[in-house]
Chain A
Amino acid sequence: MFELDLFLEAFPVLLEQFIKITLVVTVLGSVIAAALGLAWAILVRQLPSFLSVPLAFVLDFIRLTPLPVHLLLVYYAFNSLSGLTVGVLVFGVHYSTYMAESYRAGIESIRSGQWEAATALSLPASRTWRAVILPQAIRNTLPSLGNWAIAMFKDTPFLIFISVVEMVTAARQFGGQHFTYTEAFTVAGLLFLVASYPTAVLMRKLEKKLAY
């Protein structure tokens, strides 16, 4: 039933897609998401309410609706963009809304005395954020950002919706050619497990280390 030959044959094929597409999208997407998420968290807090309320609503809307639909929408609405670009952008924006929540929690965990001290020293807002709040808040937020990055990594197969051939799509094609899917999907699952489990363990360690 389970053929080792096919398993070994599928391995390099999938590994190549894994490195070329899956990892690239995850890394670039995470960078975008982490930067945008921080921007959202600060903006929602700093903007006057007639701007911050709509912004918070938009973020909520994105967070509560499915990623595959976002991918399809952007892919067809801006059809000059390549699938890979759409993937990176949509993953980045979608996950930035989750990361914004993590940042928010991190920022809210800063004791009010810190804000008050900054006010007492009449620091300008930019310096309060840069020198007082963020260094403490991000320390609290980092592990949670890592967990979202892992979640994004496991969502990369959604790229199949916009016809980007990443690892799992390649596995399906491989299975179709050889009339058996077991080996190829086993390889795909293993690669995910091998990449995501150690990272998750590392994150848990980091979380413990960073905790006050």
Chain B
Amino acid sequence: MAVEFSEKADAEFKELVSRYPNTLAAMLPVLHLAQREFGWISVEVMDYVAERLEVHPTKVLNAATFYTMYNKTPVGKCHVQVCTTLSCAIRGGYELIEHLEEKLGVKLGETREDGAYTLSEAECLASCGTAPMFQVSYSDGEIEYFENLDDQARVNQVIEQLNARLASLPDPRKMH
């Protein structure tokens, strides 16, 4: 199946491009849009973005591989990224990972077999005052921060909230 923006995404694409003096500058926001639309940034998606921006495909490859927010392989419906950089390391980020591994049934750096969760470690997410914390990137493109997670009961509540949301989220592995 060839990738192609929906009508709504196409309108957003045109609006994004209009903000800049050239199409290349729209690269980052357009790759975010493409990831929302197609689940992850495959070579096919990169080629499509290059065609739409009228730039050489290597320019898209260059950007897509430089930035960590673009997934070059499919991740789970909920990509749980735990910050462990400085304040989070000091305030229990690693203990949080151990707890999540047990509760989510997935090891750090892996995606659960049913495609529900990916668990990974993230560099500083600018929530040092509310450490420890994790960010969840949902497969519908939303990002949510969960902060002050030094209490396991609160973490369990958050997991219940994520579990409840799973049914409404698309599976990135099947989005294109």
Is the pairing of A and B real?
A: no
- Residues of A bordering B, CB below 8 Å: none
